[in-house]
Structure 1
Amino acid sequence: MPAEIDMRVTPALHEATIRELEGYDEDTKMFVAPVEEAFSDAYLTLGKLHDAKEAAARNEAWTEAQKVLLVAKEADKQQARLCKKFDAVHAALKKQVAAYDQQLSQPLKEKAGLGTLNGEVRAYAKSLSRDDRSKMVQQAFDAKDTDTLQALLGAQPFLSGFIPEEHAYYVRKFHESQNPALVKRLTVTRAAMKAVEERAPLLFPQMEKVLGMRRDKVKAIEQGNEDALKALKFGS
Structure 2
Amino acid sequence: MSTEISTQITPALHPDNVMEIEGYDTDTAPFLAPTMTAFSEAYEGLRQVHTAREKAKTNPTWNEAMQVIHTQDLADKVMTRITRTFDTTRANLEKSIAHLEGELSQPVESKAAGSIAAEVRAHIKGMPTGERMKVIQQAINEGDHIVATAVFGAPAMLSGLGADMQKVLIRVYHERHNPEVAKRLKAMQGAKSMIEDRGGLVFKAMEKAVGAQPHKVKALREAKNAAEQAFILKDA
Paired residues in the alignment total: 235
**Distance in structure 1 (CA, Å) of the matches to 2:143 and 2:96:** 28
Q: Which sits farther off after the overlay, 88-97 or 58-67?
A: 58-67
C-alpha distance in 2 between matches for 1:142 and 1:63: 70
Deviation at residue 130 of structure 1 after TM alignment? 1.6
1:188-211, CA deviations, whole angstroms, 9 ceiling, x for partnerless residues? 100000000011111100111011
Question: Normalising to structure 2: TM-score of the pair?
Answer: 0.95
- Corresponding position of 1:94: 94
**Structure 2: gaps of 5 or more residues:** none
CA deviation vs aligned residue, 1:143-164 (integer Å, no higher than 9, x gap): 3211100001111111111101
Match of 1:48 in 2: 48
Gaps of 5+ in 1: none
Q: Write out aligned runs for 1:116-135 (5 A).
A: 116-135=115-134
CA RMSD of aligned residues (A): 1.3
What amino acid is the match of 1:193? K
Other-structure match for 1:5: 5
1:160-175 equivalences in 2 (<5 Å): 160-175=159-174
Large movers: runs of 4+ above 6 Å = none
Aligned identity (percent) is 38
In the alignment, what sits opposite 2:82?
82
| 2:68–2:212 CA contact under 8 A, matched in 1 | no
Q: Aligned partners of 1:77, 1:92: CA distance in 2, in Å?
A: 23
Task: Please state how far the C-alpha of 1:140 moved relative to its aligned partner.
Answer: 1.4
Question: Cα offset for 1:213?
Answer: 1.7
Task: Output the CA distance in 1 between the equivalents of 2:142 and 2:87.
Answer: 44
Shift of 1:48: 1.4
The 8 Å contact of residues 141 and 176 in structure 2, kept in 1 or not, is answered as no
Query: How far off is 1:133 after superposition?
Result: 1.1
Could you give the per-residue CA deviations for residues 94-121 of structure 1, whole angstroms, max 9, x where no partner exists?
1111111010001111015x35110000
Quote the residue 1:180 is aligned against. Answer: 179
**Paired residues of 2:110 and 2:149 also in contact (CA < 8 A):** yes
Matched residue of 1:134: which SS? helix
Give the deviation of 1:231 after TM superposition: 4.5
Secondary structure of the residue that 2:106 maps to in structure 1?
coil
